[in-house]
Chain A
């Protein structure tokens, strides 16, 4: 209609429209606004969308204030300046790179330090970090609210003289006071110098997030005193990796894989290298990769996977051996074998097995195979495997994994495995492997599938091993000390507390049974009688950012032990936050979070070697602005005090000061030289000295640093200080195929050269040399070429682990899994303690406890209001809808979850949780993460002489009341987080940042402290705690409250003994070493003398 009736305005009305010049006039000319004239860099229409300014601008970067922008933006207000005070505020930043510390991934961060206020205004990612690629998960950004937690520990605290541990009475001390006291205690212990005294110190490390520093504290002290947290974390998985490759863990190339093979939700959903892996997995899936998730729980990853297989927890090994069976016994579409013979023949240690007739006989005797192989050939080996794994049929696996009705999924899984060829990336970790007795066999059998398909070759898209994809440099710091690069001698004692004689093959320290061992006089007597020298107590126990009371099983046992000053004489926690454990320590020494400390971190999150540098952002910013510390060896502490963060320190400076100034000031103990500066031997080493030495270990980094800072005294330090991350090497594929150079006279391997006369070759092609009386392999010859090979002594991947025989576990030296009920009873060590065999009654379940809540992984993040708001400490008990219906349980019902042990038959007690019926867990299996249930016994503590009360975990832990009598422990919630915070919402610390505390709405009352109820379950071989539980559920009794905990920890002590005494095969007089010599203890290097088993008959001659 418009077109038809068009008028001609420009001609017909031309003479008459002049009067209509009525425009509103809404445009103004930019150049006429004086306030904008010198601020033309600011625009609301950037040419590109970049989160990060270029590196050259990091020391001086101005950015409009996001909050202030809300007043109207620069279009309306212009930019703030002297001429335009009403303009939008501009922040004047120094951007300091650092590294996240809220999980193990080590993603890059940048701290945006406001030069005027010396406050970190925000944490962002670091675009120079090649694995995290400028991205972070919520935990990275949460660093900011952790830093300015209203309840930060503002200065060192000491248990009030005259009070008992756990009474909650504290006094303020200086760092020097604390170091004086601790230094004297340590010095007294070390001065004794006998074997016993070298076992009386334990440094107990939570998530370390550094490479090679912490273990060197006991090492330089000359003691065997390191406890990692690994045996409650991932040691089951590592056992399988160590058996296959003598490597701590595998390392997948997610980004280039065709199949993302996940057991549990790890990698894509919550943990081990979560954020980095998730991004790489997303990249792969975008290119068409498939993803399978094997997990009883429909995790976020499983929900978006191509295939979810909810196998009964702990039976995954059966599933993998089913796949192995089909790979071995079926043919491809064109009739070809599905086994990658080229890889298996060259790189699997089959020859060793085929030569070991005694072992083959054992296999026949146990019914693994029906007869001896015809000969030693590869073909006979493959024939034997075909028979060995033929019982793992579809029918078997469906029954064992309880996958009735889901047979079609197993077909799909097999097709996916075959279609992916050798591009299968996996990270067999945590849930299946640490949840169960025998969980390590998951890794053994899972990697068999990958090995048969050639995916363990470590080529593009496949799976390799971690040490090739990681760069650890801290050990190099001795170059900058008086020791002039000389490392401490190996320690010549073996501490039975981390490594009891029952667990010679344990992957890591038995740290979680430390209180049990310390309180087990019978155990001490037994081994002392056999010649072991076991101290009755510890002189010093030092948890480092660790909270075993809360996160370890059997928490009441920990409290009981910590209270005993006769068992732990001095305890101090180097901790950035209050914690349940701190409550029972003698000292709480506040150390830094992600942006408040120095650490070097590198992780195998992709096939390259990247290193990242965690730094105290305020210190770096202050130093760049010209500030100088009074004492350069305490610069981090002084900087934090100067910037108003509190007396927050860091470990490197702490330990260096403690040892040089208080433990060994005159050097007579021989320790000072490892911590005193080469530049000035009278003082401890400084951070620039330390990291100049450490980072110079990496040749590419050194070259780049020297080019970028040609006139610097500490170019490597400054290079990393300014960038925060560097990638030393990329595209590291098939590293085992790197050749060993031979020039006709010498072999060159790993930086050493060996004359041909020193080198012998065995009939498996392995090249050996003599190293201090021991044979050491340096390479392997395959088809005429000499390769570096894998990390095992035979340089191949070990299908057959011969040393298992010596340590009395011969029947498990190959990937195997019981095939029927009788075998499950005989081979109990491989059978999960929550196997469906053990579930008899209709209200008996397996409880899946170990899935991470991606916002609340470690104890240190309890103080982030932002992370707590996401998690709210709410942690219901998932129950399948069919089970809930059968038991008459509805959503929100209170239920008692009673934990029952299937070895001792004893009941541990119960916790009261909230039931949530869902189809996101499989029938028969409950789910309730153990990463929740924080508590405190006081909302705040008074410090004599200090004007403010110190709040305790105000944003993340409800107030509980507790009772314990040595046998029974009880907990009941008294007050939720919201109510506790409201009482003191006008927090004195970091007021401006915490003015929103009255917005806290979560009470945190539905996440029970289930770890307290859980008894310890030490795996008899891997030594890890097997986390899952058999539980009996029932509706709550009248008067029960959410969060109630009732524990019979006397029963739990009996359960610890039952697992130890019924299941292990301890050292005996026929075993020479306490552990295979080629499997070094992971933290402190020990001498051969330390390795010797005092019971061994022949040891007197050594």
Chain B
């Protein structure tokens, strides 16, 4: 697996975890990752993961925690962190909409069930889209396009994700009540920082 594919997969993973509640199918996929234990060490060890039914684990424990860290108490939107008045910019002035548009994409807010396109899960998925585009360019040997796409990824990280995601993930790691989300937050943060280093090389 190339680094590009690897990056795409990781963005895909963290995007999914933070965009919506967990479901049985996705959780099972995650737990089937080979190095699942390495990525989610505390969750792996967590007794409730073993003792509760899947239904109870997801609906009564994990999703309640998700509601806490992504809907009720922590706000996973860029503009909440970057605007002085701490308001989510839901209108046309949202800072990422233009970038999505420039690449010919729109966010299906209904499907994402988010109030604005600068949700952390959406932005992480957008990184995946950029990386997938890079992969296609690599396959076509279009070196210039690869370079441009990597620059765009770097810029998007600098201008958007890194402007708020570290703060958000630190908050999640501290406030989450389940090892799953604590582990996921640490994983996501460390990956973002590493990816940024990678793009800077």
With an 8 A cutoff between CB atoms, is A50 at the interface?
Answer: no
With an 8 A cutoff between CB atoms, is B125 at the interface?
Answer: yes
- The reply to whether A20 and B30 form a contact with Cβ atoms under 8 Å apart is yes
Q: Closest B-chain residue to A16, C-beta based? A: B34
- The reply to whether A13 and B8 form a contact with Cβ atoms under 8 Å apart is no
- The reply to whether A13 and B39 form a contact with Cβ atoms under 8 Å apart is yes
- The reply to whether B1 and A45 form a contact with Cβ atoms under 8 Å apart is no
With an 8 A cutoff between CB atoms, is A43 at the interface?
Answer: yes
* CA distance in complex: A14, B128 (Å): 16
- Which one of A24, A28, A29, A43 has the greatest number of beta carbons of chain B within 10 Å? A24
With an 8 A cutoff between CB atoms, is A711 at the interface?
Answer: no
- The reply to whether B9 and A21 form a contact with Cβ atoms under 8 Å apart is yes
The answer to whether A26 and B12 touch (CB under 8 A), given A2-B190, A10-B3, A18-B5, is: no
- Give every chain B residue within 8 A of A10 (Cβ-Cβ): 3, 6-7, 10, 194-195, 198
- The reply to whether A24 and B112 form a contact with Cβ atoms under 8 Å apart is yes
A70 to chain B minimum Cβ distance, whole angstroms, is 12
* CA distance in complex: A25, B7 (Å): 16
Of B12, B109, B110, the contact of A23 (CB 8 Å cutoff): B12
With an 8 A cutoff between CB atoms, is A82 at the interface?
Answer: no
- The reply to whether A19 and B93 form a contact with Cβ atoms under 8 Å apart is no
Of B3, B10, B92, B106, the contact of A27 (CB 8 Å cutoff): B106
- The reply to whether B93 and A45 form a contact with Cβ atoms under 8 Å apart is yes
- Give every chain B residue within 8 A of A31 (Cβ-Cβ): 104
The answer to whether A20 and B13 touch (CB under 8 A), given A27-B100, A29-B104, A76-B109, is: yes
With an 8 A cutoff between CB atoms, is B189 at the interface?
Answer: yes
With an 8 A cutoff between CB atoms, is B191 at the interface?
Answer: yes
- Give every chain A residue within 8 A of B30 (Cβ-Cβ): 20, 22
- Give every chain B residue within 8 A of A16 (Cβ-Cβ): 33-35
- Give every chain B residue within 8 A of A27 (Cβ-Cβ): 100, 105-108, 122, 125-126, 129
Q: Interface residues of A, CB < 8 Å — how many?
A: 36
- The reply to whether A29 and B190 form a contact with Cβ atoms under 8 Å apart is no
The answer to whether A20 and B190 touch (CB under 8 A), given A10-B7, A25-B125, A26-B19, is: no
The answer to whether A30 and B105 touch (CB under 8 A), given A20-B12, A20-B29, A43-B92, is: yes
* CA distance in complex: A326, B105 (Å): 72
- Give every chain B residue within 8 A of A21 (Cβ-Cβ): 8-9, 12-13
- Give every chain B residue within 8 A of A3 (Cβ-Cβ): 193
Within 8 A of A (CB), among B168-201: 170, 173, 186-187, 189-191, 193-195, 198
* CA distance in complex: A6, B190 (Å): 6
With an 8 A cutoff between CB atoms, is A75 at the interface?
Answer: yes
- Give every chain A residue within 8 A of B12 (Cβ-Cβ): 20-23
Within 8 A of B (CB), among A194-235: none
- Give every chain B residue within 8 A of A46 (Cβ-Cβ): 92
With an 8 A cutoff between CB atoms, is A17 at the interface?
Answer: yes
- Give every chain B residue within 8 A of A2 (Cβ-Cβ): 170, 173, 186, 189-190, 193
The answer to whether A75 and B107 touch (CB under 8 A), given A2-B186, A10-B194, A10-B195, is: yes
Main secondary structure of the interface of B (DSSP, over half): helix
* CA distance in complex: A13, B39 (Å): 9
- Give every chain B residue within 8 A of A44 (Cβ-Cβ): 91-92, 97
Within 8 A of B (CB), among A68-107: 72, 75-76
A46 to chain B minimum Cβ distance, whole angstroms, is 6
Q: Closest B-chain residue to A26, C-beta based? A: B112
- Give every chain A residue within 8 A of B198 (Cβ-Cβ): 10
- The reply to whether A30 and B3 form a contact with Cβ atoms under 8 Å apart is no
- The reply to whether B109 and A17 form a contact with Cβ atoms under 8 Å apart is no
A168 to chain B minimum Cβ distance, whole angstroms, is 51
- Give every chain A residue within 8 A of B82 (Cβ-Cβ): none
Within 8 A of A (CB), among B92-142: 92-94, 97-98, 100-101, 104-112, 114, 117, 121-122, 125-126, 128-129
With an 8 A cutoff between CB atoms, is B15 at the interface?
Answer: yes
The answer to whether A20 and B97 touch (CB under 8 A), given A27-B107, A44-B91, is: no
With an 8 A cutoff between CB atoms, is B32 at the interface?
Answer: yes
A917 to chain B minimum Cβ distance, whole angstroms, is 36
- Give every chain B residue within 8 A of A15 (Cβ-Cβ): 1, 34
With an 8 A cutoff between CB atoms, is A8 at the interface?
Answer: yes
A861 to chain B minimum Cβ distance, whole angstroms, is 32
* CA distance in complex: A761, B97 (Å): 75
- Which one of A7, A30, A43 has the greatest number of beta carbons of chain B within 10 Å? A7
Q: Assuming A20-B10, A21-B13, what are 14 further A-B pairs, CB within 8 angstroms? A: A5-B190, A7-B190, A9-B6, A10-B194, A14-B1, A18-B6, A19-B34, A20-B13, A22-B30, A24-B121, A26-B107, A26-B112, A26-B114, A72-B110
Give the 6 A-B CB pairs with smallest separation, nearest first: A16-B34, A44-B92, A26-B112, A23-B12, A20-B13, A22-B16
29 pairs from A and B in contact (CB 8 Å cutoff): A6-B194, A9-B6, A9-B10, A10-B3, A10-B6, A10-B10, A16-B34, A17-B6, A17-B10, A18-B1, A20-B12, A20-B29, A20-B30, A22-B29, A23-B13, A24-B121, A24-B125, A26-B108, A26-B111, A26-B121, A26-B125, A27-B107, A28-B105, A29-B104, A31-B104, A44-B92, A45-B93, A45-B98, A75-B106
Q: Mark B residues whose CB is within 8 Å of A.
A: 1, 3, 5-13, 15-16, 19-20, 26, 29-30, 32-35, 38-39, 91-94, 97-98, 100-101, 104-112, 114, 117, 121-122, 125-126, 128-129, 170, 173, 186-187, 189-191, 193-195, 198
Q: Mark A residues whose CB is within 8 Å of B.
A: 2-3, 5-10, 12-31, 33, 43-46, 72, 75-76
